[in-house]
Amino acid sequence: MLSSIKNKINSASIKSMLWLVSEKIIRMFSGVIVGLWIARYLGPSQYGMYTFALAWVSLFNAIAWFGVGENVIRNLVREEGSEGELMGAAFAIRLFGSILAGVLAIAGILITHGNDLLLVKLVIFMSLAIPFSEMPAGIFLFFQSKLDVAKPVMAQNIIRILAAIFRIILVIGAFELIWFGFAILIESVLICASLFLLYKIYGGKISTWRYRLSSIVLMLRQGAPIALASLVGSLSARTDQLMLGWFTNFSQVGMYSAALRFSEIWWSFAPIIMNSLSPKYIFNIENEAVLKQNISNIMAYLFLLSFIPVVGVLVLGQYAIPFLLGEQYADALPILYVHVFMAILIFFDAPTGQYLLAQQRQKQMIWKSFFLLLVNFMLNYLFIPLWGALGAAIATLCSYVLMQVVLYRMLPIFKDLADMQNQAFVVMLRIIRGKSIVWG
């Protein structure tokens, strides 16, 4: 009987993972395909303004959730009968955080770019979307805790596809830029409404939610380290686009963002692969030596795998950009040639994040993010005035290289990461020579 229950749980876990992966893939491909169409229609300057506004709002959106995520799932599973209190606390935190994030985003753009009315309007529309995207987050986490994500994911997938169709209509109809900001707001409102409706249909009662200050404070304390890491990571990820907007012009932001569309699509495959491998080869391993061997093996395979998109882009990029975006984006090609090498570094480093989580070393993940942010900011400050968008791409690539090569070997707390990197290269030689690899 216990075996039967375990098999059902494993089956439900696999199905949940597959549904979550499907949501990521639909979001990724609809974002890339439709995003390239939008870039071609808007042109470098207006597309640069659009992506700058997105980067600006996303920067503040990082504080909206206050780290309220996986800890809610864990508590819903462990603490039976606490649904009302946990859901109420999660909703209150997300609501307050999203309103705060939206207000800060709008206030910040008014202070820094108040004279650019179109940019301000874009940021306002995108900021209004933040509460609608954050308020139902607790409901999605509730379905995750029940291993029943099929319903909310299916609803989100349908809405994202409809939103993509709406954006295509905007392009075909030659609508103005501001409508693309409005599209983000409409998509968030529809997803929010669908999740609350699903929660009600399947027995959830919002009237049972409780908003106790003690629960809210406890949840904030649990999520603080995660929220800090998320904020730093968000800053680091958007430093290049934001600094390009400050030091150059929106046309340079548009060139950089267009190149990013071609390279970032491959980055998403690394976490998808890791999410499928980590339950068996990382989180289920108690012997540290075996765990490190598994990490080195995964690093080796991911490093070799990463050359597929790199070679593909280097060969086809010169044809893809003019065909998909037009000659107006010709200057994006050298940016893409530099930026695509990020795939190697992101794939190679992906297992270290799961390793640090398995070792309960979340603080070191924050140190990594801080180092990356600081170096990226300094290099962008030096390179953007010299080479514009190409300088931003070089700065980002160099910052990742310095993190993985210098930081891991400079600080003793990261020595084991450097050792696993070295072992990974030994494993690569074995793979290339066709020799067997030992797994734990």
Tell me the pLDDT tens digit for each residue of 236-253.
Answer: 778 899 999 999 999 999
Contact status, residue 397 vs residue 342, Cβ threshold 8 Å: yes
Q: Is 147 in a helix, a strand, or coil? A: coil
The Cα–Cα gap between 124 and 181 comes to: 9
Apex CA 289: angle with CA 287 and CA 290, to 5°?
Answer: 65
Alpha-carbon torsion (332, 127, 98, 106), positive or negative: positive
Phi-psi region of 79 (alpha: psi -120 to 50; beta: other; left: phi over 0): beta
Alpha-carbon torsion (133, 174, 29, 263), positive or negative: negative
| Structure-block tokens of residue 269 | 């495959």
C-alpha 114 chain-centroid distance: 29
Highest mean pLDDT among 281-295, 347-361, 415-429: 415-429
Closest CA to 19 of 146, 200, 206: 146
Against a cut of 0.85, is the pTM above it? Answer: yes
| Structure-block tokens of residue 42 | 């808007």
**pLDDT (0 to 100) of residue 208:** 79
Comparing 201-215, 220-234, 336-350, the range with the smallest average pLDDT is: 220-234
pLDDT-based confidence at residue 202 (cuts at 50, 70, 90)? confident
Query: Residue 378 CB: number of other CB atoms within 10 A?
Result: 12
C-alpha 106 chain-centroid distance: 22
Q: In terms of pLDDT, which residue wins out, 243 or 137?
A: 243
**pLDDT (0 to 100) of residue 120:** 97
| pLDDT greater than 60 at residue 100 | yes
The Cα–Cα gap between 131 and 139 comes to: 14
C-alpha 102 chain-centroid distance: 19
